[in-house]
Structure 1
Amino acid sequence: MISPEQNEAFEKFLATVKDNGVLDEETTTLAFLCASLAIRCRHCAERFIKQAKDQGISEEKMGAVAAVAMCVRAGSARSLALELVEEQ
């Protein structure tokens, strides 16, 4: 479905984001994990949970990140509900 060239371009983009020179490796991994949980991307979440475990990131930190993702997701649902009620 995705051409080899497109996949290669994505992997290069991912590598530059991972090695951004601003955030340390743990923070970057936790940011990826939070975003993947918030948008419910199972493949990404599995990838970044494994990466976090490989880096020795604690379950406690991953749990805190999951809670942040839950707040983002719940906030999005709340915002949508309020918008829809106001439109009625």
Structure 2
Amino acid sequence: MQLQQRLTEIDLDAYFQRIGYSGDCSPRLTTLQAIHQRHSQTIAFENLNPLLKQPVKLDLASLQQKLINEGRGGYCFEQNSLLRAV
């Protein structure tokens, strides 16, 4: 169960640091708009994995590793899945 929990939760502090967001975290439209803006300005679109014949993994742990921890960009599905988890 602990493994399942780790794979379904996102490290919001690391994500906010990655996108440079230090604003309010309450669930409001203005918060979502600010996070969305920072996300799209900070995490680039990148489709290198298919060109390098590497798999595009869409599980949350892989997305966090690639887009947050490694500081890379992502494919549209990766970007949207990460933002949805946030």
TM-score (norm 2): 0.28
Q: Which has the higher helix share?
A: 1
Report the structure number with the largest CA radius of gyration.
Answer: 1
**Bigger RCO of structures 1 and 2 (CA < 8 A, at least 6 apart):** 2
